[in-house]
Amino acid sequence: MSSNYSDSKSPWSSITGPNLGYVMEMYDIYQESPESIDPEFAELFKQYGPPVEPGAEQQPAATAEVKSDKFGKVLGAIHLAEAIRAHGHLASDIYPLKDQPRDTERLEPSTYGLTEQDLKEVPVSLLLENAPADIKDGLAAINYLKSLYTEKVAFEFSHIVQPQERSWLQSKIEAGEVKPSLDADKKKQVLELLTRVEGFEKFVHRTFVGQKRFSIEGVDTLVVLMDELVRLSETAGTENIMIGMAHRGRLNVLTHILNKPYEMMFAGFAHVSDEAFLPEDGSLQITKGWFGDVKYHMGAAYTSPKGTNIKLAYNPSHLEIVSPVVAGQTRAAQELTQQSGLAPIDVNKAYAIMVHGDAAFPGQGVVTETLNFSRIRGYQTGGSIHIIANNLIGFTTEQYDSRSTHYSSDPAKGYEVPVIHVNADEPEEVIAVARLAFEYRQKFGKDILIDLIGYRRYGHNEMDEPLVTNPTMYHGIHEHGTVREIYGEKLASGKVLSEDDVKKLDSDILSEMQKAYDHVKENKSDDAHEVVIPEAVMQGFPEVPTGVDKDVLTKMNEDLLSWPSDFSAFGKLARILKRREDPFNGKGKIDWAHAETLAFGSILQEGNPIRLSGQDAQRGTFAHRHLVLHDEKNGNELVPLHHISDAKASFVVYNSPLSEASVVGFEYGYNVENDKALVIWEAQYGDFANMAQMMFDQFISAARAKWGQKSGLVMLLPHAYEGQGPEHSSARLERYLQNAGENNWTVANLSSAANYFHILRRQAKMLGEESIRPLIIVTPKSLLRHPLVGADVEDLTEGNFQTIIEQPGMGQNTKKVERLLFASGKMAIDLADRVKDGSEYPDTHIVRVEQLYPFPSEKIQAIIKRYPKLKELAWVQEEPKNMGSWSFAEPNLREIADGIDINYYGRVVRSSPAEGDGEMHKVEQARIIDEALAKS
């Protein structure tokens, strides 16, 4: 067979690298049995002979030609090179303690039947594109690849689907761009930063003995990494960096990334007010609640001299839960919402840095929920930079008890996130990795993960003795030098600094800290600063008119129903929606969804953007909403709310991914960042909200009291007992009422579309005000289209939100009424259905409690006073007695009952919220109504 490969017409001339390897493999098979390969290939081999590496004629004689009997060796070398790229990470030197096995077997030439001599004979260009000039043969190429893929940085990116991304990463790595390249000045800066990082921990350790700080020591280079990202962001003109992180190293990040002065930090440890030490230039902003939180949960916002805003999100103890919140904050910072239509997004304006723990990352599902946002249109932010501050331990639990994956970072691979592992003892490599990650995000707009592998110098907190539970690991740690020591020695031996300079840097920084603490002691005010509940929170929002001018509503309704002539709406839906003209012509009622759309339109006209999300939120779980119409012929989307006159702000409605925790967190974060936006999350059914329980407990209900963080988030929780079983009946209202306090949120269970219209508008008017608070609305299912719930146009043009509604027609004769029944939502409508005009129940009056919290005591008291013969106040509810609103309402009623009997009508105490059987439900519901309306 010919071995003259220089024929320029050869089809092989344009085939390189792994593809060439494949062709060679085919050729090997062809030689054995020509008929077993693709006939087209066989024909080419017949005509042109075996493949050749391109440009072989320019190679030195030794490598210009590959004898066909060497194909096996060449193939082996190509496989070896690919193995280094794909599996080099398993053999890499990324563990500072060197306590993990390095799997080098598949990187040995012998595994592929190769000797060093064989490798020397393999042409470089078969193994490496654009090889550096000093790489002269295949052996040198393999060693070069090993130096890139198996030393202090390791890469995993073969799981990425897009070839452009893979080859971009490969070319960056193989061009040596992820190798240290710092000049002497930068090296000195890095040492100074590391000295500060370590010095801060040392200073606190010995000055505030026994106080928890969740020391960063062992992953000190986390600060170096974040500092580099900040610098890169400043150069790129990024406006906002949103950081989410847990306890580990947080105080150090606050100090050295958000520039919270040492004085403020030490004042916190000394339990004295830190206010006096807040920088006067306004560069640092910190909010505080009146009830407070521990120092390693507090956030801050810092504006760097170059104008980049860096925000560290306030954070509960619940690991990883802040990730989606930060994603939502980031998205809000990227969107332009002050014009009608969709909100355009500029992902270069902001990005998130999410710092994770190595045990929490694979353990907490909210991490993958958040990763899943990365390419979903309503939630993506053009890529977050994830960092695992990997100390190889969680509390006392070692990796083998923590996860089933090889790396902590492995869940990210399912989301096509490139993973870079880096030895945390190597600050220069860490900086190189930061640069690659930043550039990758800018280029591909996708998440990337840096697994910063170090160790934890102390126990979980500094009082723990880790030798008790993790002796082997900690014997190793006790013998291991600190990152600063190792780097200081390196700079000294490289003559960048003298040993004395290194020592002096350390002592100078410690004395700077001592001075700062002396300053605190000299200037401390003895009274720990007391933050009081803001007046506006306690007062509540005034009753403001929320009606909308009839002409405005009429025009809006027309706009909403005037679709472009070339838009083909689904016929049946079009007919249903066109019926929305009727109430404006004096026929029929405005139903729940119609009222909602009109409220949204009016809010947009008043300048507040709206973002609504939830599972199937566009159509609505109960096929009632239809805020996005789909052209039946081509699937094009039409959002009628984008076409109303005079809208001044954006409107978006997204079908969310099927998750609650992360979506609620995201919407919460969005709303914190854009406080003028009406942000609404809707549960598919109300009780699914308990999948996001920690968002309600840790953020939505408590964030203001803990951190002074305001929120106007609206949550719609479908609820009602309609015989659909335990999981589709109750929104677990009791949970929200149990957490109610200090006017932290509004909880409503509504029975009227008009009232829904007004409460949404009232909420929009509160946005950006001191009195803002989240709003939880228990929303209907069958009541969505119920005639007793629908509104007339006039109900929307006048008035405001009604915290209570008296049953029309009842309670007329004040001298006869002996019983006052209270009910909310569907229960109130069931009662209304039964009593009709009320004429058969002269001794009874029904009051619908629309707003449960804050409880409308004054209004109820006024009604009680109206009826001198009252003998009974009765709470009627559909939920079991230990659920729903009874336990909350009872003490509130007792306070104003003035001795009148208080009774309960509803289901008995149960462990499950509703019957599984629809017929049983009907019997039970009828019993409650019968008993509640039994005449005395």
**Residue ranges in contact with ligand TPP by CB under 6 A:** 248, 317-319, 357-360, 389, 391, 393-395, 456, 460
Shortest Cβ 358–ligand TPP spacing (Å):
4
Supply the minimum distance, in Å, between the C-beta of residue 321 and ligand TPP: 7
- The amino acid present at 179, given as its one-letter code, is K
Helix (H, G, I), strand (E, B) or coil at 738: helix
Q: What is the DSSP letter of 620?
A: -
Q: In angstroms, what is the minimal distance from the CB of 248 to ligand TPP?
A: 3
For ligand TPP, give the closer residue by CB, 333 or 430.
430
Residue with tokens 């999981």: 727
* CB 243 to ligand TPP: min, Å: 15
- Which residue's Cβ lies closest to ligand TPP? 357
Residue closer to ligand TPP by CB (options 397, 514) is: 397
CB of 244 to ligand TPP, least distance (A): 13
Site of tokens 């962001």: 233
Residue 813 corresponds to which tokens in the numbers above? 């004769």
- 582: amino acid identity, one letter: D
Distance between CA atoms of residues 69 and 118, nearest Å: 12
State in angstroms the smallest separation of the CB of 698 from ligand TPP.
10
Q: Taking the CA of residue 29 as centre, how many other CA atoms within 13 Å lie in the half-sphere pointing to its CB?
A: 13
Q: Which is nearer to ligand TPP, 468 or 528 (CB)?
A: 468
Nearer to ligand TPP, 50 or 357 (CB): 357
Least distance (Å) between residue 392 CB and ligand TPP: 8
Strand arrangement of the beta sheet that strand 804-806 belongs to: 804-806, 844-849, 819-823, 872-880, 901-907
Q: Pick the closer one to ligand TPP by CB: 217 or 924.
A: 217
* Cβ neighbours of 141 (radius 10 Å): 27
What separation in angstroms does the CA of 360 have from each of 365, 394, 418?
9, 8, 19
CA distances in angstroms from 441 to 80, 183, 198, 230, 677, listed in the order given: 30, 25, 30, 14, 28
The Cα–Cα gap between 39 and 37 comes to 6
Distance of CA 413 to the CA centre of its chain: 18
Closest CB to ligand TPP among 452 and 932?
452
What is the smallest separation between the CB atom of 393 and ligand TPP, expressed in angstroms?
A: 6
Three-state helix/strand/coil letters over 329-363: HHHHHHECCCCCCCCCECCCCEEEEEEEECCHHHH
Q: Which helix (H) or strand (E) holds 764?
A: helix 753-766
Give the residue with the Cβ less far from ligand TPP, 226 or 319: 319
Q: Which residues contact 389 (CB under 8 A, 6 or more apart)?
A: 216, 219, 222, 245, 248, 249, 355, 356, 357, 358, 452, 454
Residue 926: how many other CB atoms lie within 10 Å? 12
Helix then strand count (H, E) for the chain reads 33, 25
Task: State how far the Cα of 579 lies from the Cα of 161, in Å rounded to an integer.
Answer: 48
Beta strands in 416-560 (DSSP E): 419-423, 448-453
Residue 139: CB minimum distance to ligand TPP, A: 41
Number of Cβ within 10 Å of residue 210's Cβ equals 8
Distance, CA of 171 to CA of 875 (rounded, Å): 71
What is the 3 state secondary structure string of 662-698?
A: HHHHHHHHHHHHCCCCEEEEECCCHHHHHHHHHHHHH
State which residue, 321 or 821, has the beta carbon closest to ligand TPP. Answer: 321
Q: In one letter, which amino acid is 455? A: Y
Q: Which is nearer to ligand TPP, 249 or 383 (CB)?
A: 249
Whether the link from the prior residue into 854 is cis, omega within 30° of 0, is: yes
Phi-psi region for residue 195, left (φ > 0), alpha (ψ -120 to 50) or beta? alpha
CB-nearer residue toward ligand TPP: 268 or 357: 357
Pairing of strands 629-630, 397-398: unpaired
What six digits make up the tokens of 205? Answer: 């350790």
Minimum separation from the CB atom of position 423 to ligand TPP (A)? 17
If the CB atoms of residues 350 and 694 are measured against ligand TPP, the closer one turns out to be 694
Measured from the CB atom, the residue of 152 and 250 that comes closer to ligand TPP is: 250
Nearer to ligand TPP, 247 or 580 (CB): 247
Q: How far is the CB of 246 from ligand TPP (least distance, A)?
A: 6
Task: For the CB of residue 159, give the shortest distance to ligand TPP in the complex, in Å.
Answer: 23
Nearest distance, CB of residue 673 and ligand TPP, angstroms? 24
Nearer to ligand TPP, 274 or 660 (CB): 660
Minimal distance in Å, beta carbon 385 to ligand TPP?
Answer: 18
| Closer residue to ligand TPP (CB): 89 or 456 | 456
CB of 351 to ligand TPP, least distance (A): 23
Q: Choose among 751, 794, 712: nearest CA to 541.
A: 712
Q: Which is nearer to ligand TPP, 256 or 456 (CB)?
A: 456
- Three-state DSSP string of 132-168: CCCCCCHHHHHHHHHHHHCCCEEEECCCCCCHHHHHH
What type of residue sits at position 130?
N
Nearer CB in complex with ligand TPP: 223/677: 223
DSSP assignment string, 533-576: PPHHHHH----------HHHHHHHHHHHH---TT----HHHHHH
- Shortest Cβ distance from residue 455 to ligand TPP (Å)? 10
Specify the residue, 394 or 609, whose C-beta has the smaller distance to ligand TPP.
394
Cα–Cα distances in Å, from 868 out to 813, 863, 891, 935? 11, 10, 22, 18
CA dihedral 776, 780, 786, 788 (to 10 degrees): -40
At closest approach, how far in Å is the CB of 249 from ligand TPP? Answer: 8
Q: Nearest approach, Cβ of 771 to ligand TPP (angstroms)?
A: 32
